[in-house]
Chains A and B, each alone.
Chain A
Amino acid sequence: MGSTGSTAATRSEDWDIVLVPRQEWWRIDLKEFWHYRDLVRLMAHRDITAQYKQTVLGPLWHVIQPLTTTFTFAFIFGKAAGLSPPDVPAILFYLSGIVSWNYFAGVINRTSKTFVGGANVMSKVYFPRLVVPVSMTLSSLVSYLIQLATFLLFYFTYWVKGPVKWHLSPWVAAMPLLILMMAALGLGVGVLVSSMTTKYRDLSFLVGFGVQLLMYASPVIMPLDRLAKVPWLLRIFKLNPMTPVIEATRAIFFGKPIDWAGLGYTAVVTAVVVGVGLMVFHRVERSFADIV
């Protein structure tokens, strides 16, 4: 098997496409993917417009959901349980966490359906399959940016209204990098899951619920300093690669020291997840039409 042992291959002709049974798992054709960038754009655009096509409130839904959750959290965990930190308004604290988490979870949930959802088109026409999850990640970004703007609106309202105990860190300039890391992490996990769901459909159920569960092991609800007395729980929280991202976001907006080691950990996890995800995805995309 493999591409070896063929005499014709020794002729040095430049073939554009060579199809062989097994391809090295690292050989991901990024050049080809780049060629299809217009498709990424178009699919992302279609995603955004199609989402709210027959709704009354349209894009307002991007805002309604996180705000409702924020108010709920602020009431239950902030007011009733007294968990939110004292120096930051509960609304801002929860909103900042929820906005980031929504993006991460949204990307995973959507990209994990790449193969199963796209089976119909993919079993009939070729294009780099990676186009689908990447375009989903991009279209989710629009929703994230709308939510981020909502957060900023609240943020500056508080700022203008009254004396605040916090300030904006100059590291706000590095926000795009944080967003990129979140996107890559979500995409990596989603792509990994979608590759595995072609064989094990159970995973798709597990993912929706697992991501939800994972949120409770992140500082979205529970500020890390509240966990100082429960070191084992804190360790679990810190294992979650989203924890440093959420912490860093809050550190930026509320002027606190940034946990660089934590971010370094997330960067490594992201690189590994994306690397493994792409490899597995690449393997599956070649044979997936036979399985589905």
Chain B
Amino acid sequence: MSADDPHVIEVEDLRKSYRLGVIGGATLGDELRVLWASLRGRPNPLAPLDADADDQRSGDLFWALRGVTFEVRRGEILGIIGKNGAGKSTLLKLLSRITTPTQGVVRMKGRVSSLLEVGTGFNPELTGRENIYLNGTILGMKIAEIDRKLDEIIAFSGIQHHIDTPTKRYSSGMKVRLGFAVAAHLEPEIMIIDEVLAVGDAEFQRKCLGKMKDVAGSGRTVLFVSHNMVAVQSLCSRVIWLQDGKLIMDGPPDEVVKKYLHTYTVQRAEATWPEGTAPGREDLDLVRVALAHDAGEGVLTIDDPFRISIRFRNQAVESGDITVGIHLINDDDVLVFNSNYRDEPTAQQMFPIGEHTVECPVPGGLLNDGDYRVTVNVIRNGRFYFRVEETISFTLQEAKRRGTFFRSHGGVIRPRLPWRKVD
């Protein structure tokens, strides 16, 4: 792939709006007005007034894409990243021709195959073999073509033994294997893949990635959407980043992913309160809660150690027996751990009047990836004194340590334990 390779996809000022609220809620009267206007060659009287509105919502329209422009060269593996609702799915739906643009143009060269969902187009009553034919022809293959590639497809899917079983008895992993096998053997000029790596085991993932690289290597083009940044970085040759329906960055994977992760990693790394508004009680309140780490501009991964520091203000008449603690809570609202300053036996117990900072270092290689938030508890004279919920929040990203397995690991924590061979 080089800069001289011709464009196989051109997307120009692509916009897509959806009607909010009641779908198809236009009344017959409205439709007659539109029809009357179009018969007289007038513009649609009910058309949105300002399609370029800066607001993603205008009137009862929601603009899922607001002027996206990019092009893809032959042989590229283009990663598309962005948070949920950024417009990735809408873009894929447009490119795979499930829906049509509201404004703008898309031009493509060659056969497009898209794998948007596990086992799309599978008929549960039919066997795996029959579904290969059905799915293949839905994707635009000829029966003769499928005949030729049938053995290869079955071998690639790895489910030879169940190929004559109805697919309703398949696990979702088996369906995605079969679906991917068919799509991959379509020999499309453009292949669109959405989050397929979320299912399937490590070995199959490796196969999929290998196949995608083959596809790209043989002068074809892959569009790859994933939330897994490690996969995006190791697979893609270029990445675009969508946010709120706009393309905000387009460039080499390492750069875009780094910027992207940095934007989302630290959601609220520091919480401070000006005097008078600090949470707590009159004689004892919080000043600041902060996350510190040495990952620098980069992103915080599960392998990086970090520190949570808490600064509080003791305004009582005398020094007090004070301790603070944190609750680390994850995405699923699970309390991951509850740790107190006093857990450390050598910790100083009495705090004089004034401001004090305590710090809790959390080692790398302990937590699982995901979003976390921190609740601070304050204890005075051995009694619970007050609690501040959700002071700071942050994200730990997957680290590149565990090979090519791009599926999220289970478990509340994910400690790095010193495994060894003993015999």
Q: Which residues of A contact B (CB under 8 A)?
A: 1, 3, 6, 8-9, 13-21, 35-36, 38-39, 41-43, 46, 50, 53, 121-127, 198-199, 286-287, 289-291
Render B108-149 as a binary contact track against A, CB cut-off 8 A, 1 for contact. Answer: 111110101100110101100010011001111111000000
In the complex, which of the residues A19, A42, A127 contacts B100, with contact meaning CB atoms closer than 8 Å? A19
In the complex, which of the residues A3, A35, A122, A124 contacts B116, with contact meaning CB atoms closer than 8 Å? A124
Chain B stretch 56-109: residues in CB contact (< 8 A) with chain A: 93-94, 96-109
Chain A residues lying within 8 Å of B24, measured Cβ to Cβ, are: 198-199, 291
Residue of A nearest to B111 (CB): A16
Chain A residues lying within 8 Å of B244, measured Cβ to Cβ, are: none
Does B317 interact with chain A (Cβ within 8 Å)? Answer: no
B102 touches A21 (CB 8 A): yes
Task: Tell me the bound Cα distance from A123 to B120 in angstroms.
Answer: 10
In the complex, which of the residues B94, B102, B126, B143 contacts A46, with contact meaning CB atoms closer than 8 Å? B126
Q: A50-B125, A53-B125 are in contact. Are A19 and B137 (CB under 8 A)?
A: no
Chain B residues lying within 8 Å of A125, measured Cβ to Cβ, are: 96, 98, 114, 116, 120-121, 138-139
Task: Tell me the bound Cα distance from A125 to B135 in angstroms.
Answer: 10
What would be 27 A-B contacts, judged by CB atoms less than 8 Å apart?
A6-B105, A15-B10, A16-B110, A19-B94, A19-B101, A19-B108, A20-B100, A20-B105, A36-B137, A36-B140, A38-B137, A42-B137, A43-B134, A50-B125, A121-B138, A123-B98, A124-B117, A125-B116, A125-B121, A125-B139, A126-B96, A126-B97, A127-B138, A127-B140, A289-B93, A290-B23, A291-B24
Task: Tell me the bound Cα distance from A135 to B12 in angstroms.
Answer: 36
Task: Tell me the bound Cα distance from A127 to B121 in angstroms.
Answer: 11
Residue of B nearest to A291 (CB): B24
In the complex, which of the residues B18, B114, B143 contacts A126, with contact meaning CB atoms closer than 8 Å? B114
A121 touches B121 (CB 8 A): yes
Tally chain B residues at the interface, Cβ within 8 Å: 44
Task: Tell me the bound Cα distance from A67 to B19 in angstroms.
Answer: 50
Chain A residues lying within 8 Å of B143, measured Cβ to Cβ, are: 38, 41-42
Task: Tell me the bound Cα distance from A199 to B102 in angstroms.
Answer: 19
Task: Tell me the bound Cα distance from A242 to B112 in angstroms.
Answer: 42
Task: Tell me the bound Cα distance from A199 to B24 in angstroms.
Answer: 6
Chain B residues lying within 8 Å of A43, measured Cβ to Cβ, are: 134
Since A3-B105, A17-B109, A50-B125 are in contact, a sample of 12 more A-B pairs with Cβ atoms closer than 8 Å, ordered by chain A residue number, is: A15-B108, A16-B108, A18-B107, A18-B108, A20-B101, A21-B103, A42-B133, A42-B134, A43-B134, A53-B125, A126-B98, A286-B100
A17 touches B97 (CB 8 A): yes
Chain B residues lying within 8 Å of A198, measured Cβ to Cβ, are: 24
Chain A residues lying within 8 Å of B94, measured Cβ to Cβ, are: 19
- Within the complex, the shortest CB–CB distance from B138 to chain A, in Å, comes to 5
Most chain B CB within 10 A, of A14, A20, A43, A50, is at A20
- Within the complex, the shortest CB–CB distance from A19 to chain B, in Å, comes to 4
A8 touches B97 (CB 8 A): no
Task: Tell me the bound Cα distance from A69 to B112 in angstroms.
Answer: 49
B104 touches A21 (CB 8 A): yes
Task: Tell me the bound Cα distance from A198 to B23 in angstroms.
Answer: 11
Chain B residues lying within 8 Å of A46, measured Cβ to Cβ, are: 123, 126, 130, 134
Chain B residues lying within 8 Å of A127, measured Cβ to Cβ, are: 138-140
Task: Tell me the bound Cα distance from A36 to B137 in angstroms.
Answer: 7
Task: Tell me the bound Cα distance from A36 to B136 in angstroms.
Answer: 11
Chain A residues lying within 8 Å of B104, measured Cβ to Cβ, are: 21
Q: A6-B12, A18-B107, A126-B114 are in contact. Are A39 and B101 (CB under 8 A)?
A: no
Chain A residues lying within 8 Å of B10, measured Cβ to Cβ, are: 8, 15
Chain B residues lying within 8 Å of A15, measured Cβ to Cβ, are: 10, 107-109
A289 touches B99 (CB 8 A): yes
- Within the complex, the shortest CB–CB distance from B29 to chain A, in Å, comes to 14
Residue of B nearest to A9 (CB): B105
- Within the complex, the shortest CB–CB distance from A124 to chain B, in Å, comes to 4
Chain A residues lying within 8 Å of B101, measured Cβ to Cβ, are: 19-21
Residue of A nearest to B117 (CB): A124
Residue of A nearest to B189 (CB): A16
Chain A residues lying within 8 Å of B105, measured Cβ to Cβ, are: 3, 6, 8-9, 18-20
Task: Tell me the bound Cα distance from A125 to B112 in angstroms.
Answer: 11
Residue of A nearest to B44 (CB): A1
Q: A17-B108, A21-B103 are in contact. Are A289 and B98 (CB under 8 A)?
A: yes
- Within the complex, the shortest CB–CB distance from A135 to chain B, in Å, comes to 11
Task: Tell me the bound Cα distance from A38 to B111 in angstroms.
Answer: 16
Chain B residues lying within 8 Å of A290, measured Cβ to Cβ, are: 18-19, 23, 99
- Within the complex, the shortest CB–CB distance from B183 to chain A, in Å, comes to 10
Task: Tell me the bound Cα distance from A198 to B26 in angstroms.
Answer: 13
Task: Tell me the bound Cα distance from A6 to B23 in angstroms.
Answer: 31
Chain B residues lying within 8 Å of A50, measured Cβ to Cβ, are: 125
Task: Tell me the bound Cα distance from A20 to B99 in angstroms.
Answer: 11
Task: Tell me the bound Cα distance from A42 to B24 in angstroms.
Answer: 33
Which 4 pairs across A and B sit closest by C-beta, in order of nearness? Answer: A126-B97, A39-B137, A19-B106, A15-B107
Task: Tell me the bound Cα distance from A19 to B93 in angstroms.
Answer: 12
Task: Tell me the bound Cα distance from A122 to B108 in angstroms.
Answer: 21
Residue of A nearest to B109 (CB): A16
Task: Tell me the bound Cα distance from A14 to B98 in angstroms.
Answer: 22
Task: Tell me the bound Cα distance from A36 to B140 in angstroms.
Answer: 6
Task: Tell me the bound Cα distance from A20 to B137 in angstroms.
Answer: 25
- Within the complex, the shortest CB–CB distance from B63 to chain A, in Å, comes to 13
Chain A residues lying within 8 Å of B111, measured Cβ to Cβ, are: 16
Residue of B nearest to A42 (CB): B137
- Within the complex, the shortest CB–CB distance from B312 to chain A, in Å, comes to 54
Chain B stretch 134-191: residues in CB contact (< 8 A) with chain A: 134, 137-143
Residue of B nearest to A32 (CB): B140
Render B203-214 as a binary contact track against A, CB cut-off 8 A, 1 for contact. Answer: 000000000000
B114 touches A38 (CB 8 A): no
- Within the complex, the shortest CB–CB distance from B255 to chain A, in Å, comes to 27
Task: Tell me the bound Cα distance from A143 to B6 in angstroms.
Answer: 51
Residue of B nearest to A290 (CB): B99
